[in-house]
Amino acid sequence: MTVPTTNASSPIEQLRLQLKESLFLDLDDYGLAEQSTGEFNSTFLGVQLNTAFQPIYDIQAGDLIGHEALLRPSLGGELTSTPEFAFTYAEQTGKLVQFDRVARTLHVLNFKQIYAENGLLFLNVHPKLLVSVNTHGKVFERILHANSVPTHRVVIEIKESEIEQDKQLSEAIDNYRDRAYHISIDGFGGKKSHIDRLWKLSPDYVKLDLSIIQQAEGNHRVQKILPGLINLINESGAQTIITGIETQTQLDIAIESGGQFVQGYFLARPVNAKALQPSSALNKLSALHKVA
């Protein structure tokens, strides 16, 4: 892809300079381009990358707290791939760091299409990149600021179950927190989770593994345990996000268990920024709040 460079003040040229100065990336190499819809996509080593956003609701207050940015890769714009495949492919070519930076930049640019000044942006971080977080978080911060997204509106999601080294994980979180990012532990309650990390890491948010609410729907014991798990997380100073809600019954269980923040296909499926019209999101939330 060739990007015109005649107008140094154009948005795309400003983006070129931001990537060069902040992330040491060449716009042409990663095919980052603005579409007619105002959204951005990227082409990395033949893989087209798009962003989808899934809302996260505060069911008790009747409000949106933010959106999780999800990578949607495809081959040739038609054959759908998975984020895991795309990241593995990038790692095998020795460009995992560059790929992660492009993906996160893509999410930030598209996040601006949703709400200019409100809401949190939840971003996933590849576990293998946490060891270089001191540099990785710092350079990404410049892209955030250049696009008027302060770090305190960004929640870094970490799958702690995939990282065995407590020291490395703790240092990575401390580095992000020093720059005012929020921290979320993702997939908590899965088979490899470490419960002692609740107080060791002091995350701001804890996302329950989606299997928990699914099991609670058909297992009365899990239903009885869920309020205690939520209370334990809250007592540690974190806020619980119940993920994977796919049915009305699961939403009812989440509410009855004292859950406040919820996310899942029943509430809203991941869609591109243009499809997230504020009016439709608030109408959906209003209906859910009446149920609560």
Domain harbouring 59, CATH code: 3.20.20.450
pLDDT of residue 43: 84
Angle between helical axes of 248-256 and 210-218 (0-180°, round to 10):
100
In a domain? residue 234: yes
Considering only residues 254 and 36, tell me which one the structure prediction assigns the higher pLDDT: 254
Q: How many domains does the chain have?
A: 1
pLDDT of residue 100: 85
pLDDT of residue 52: 94
pLDDT(2) > 50: no
In a domain? residue 262: yes
pLDDT(243) > 60: yes
Considering only residues 215 and 85, tell me which one the structure prediction assigns the higher pLDDT: 215
Residues 6+ apart with CB under 8 A from 37: 272, 274
In a domain? residue 90: no
Residue 32 in tokens: 């980052």
pLDDT of residue 274: 81
In a domain? residue 263: yes
pLDDT(136) > 60: no
pLDDT of residue 4: 43
In a domain? residue 157: yes
pLDDT of residue 117: 62
pLDDT of residue 56: 95
Identify which of 260, 167, 248, 256 has the alpha carbon closest to the alpha carbon of residue 207.
260
- Quick: pLDDT tens for 52-100: 999 999 998 888 899 999 999 887 666 677 888 888 888 888 888 888 8
In a domain? residue 21: no
Residue 89 in tokens: 């492919």
- Quick: pLDDT tens for 275-290: 875 545 555 556 555 5
In a domain? residue 1: no
In a domain? residue 57: yes
Identify which of 39, 38, 44 has the alpha carbon closest to the alpha carbon of residue 1.
44
- Quick: pLDDT tens for 157-212: 988 777 777 788 888 888 889 889 999 999 898 777 778 888 888 999 999 999 99
How confident is the model over 240-249, as a mean pLDDT? 96
pLDDT tier at 10 (50, 70, 90 boundaries)? Answer: low
Lowest mean pLDDT among 37-41, 111-115, 173-177, 232-236: 111-115
The whole-angstrom separation of Cα 57 and Cα 60 is 9
Supply the Cα-derived Rg of the chain in whole angstroms: 19
Q: Is the pTM of this model over 0.95?
A: no
Angle between helical axes of 166-178 and 133-146 (0-180°, round to 10):
30
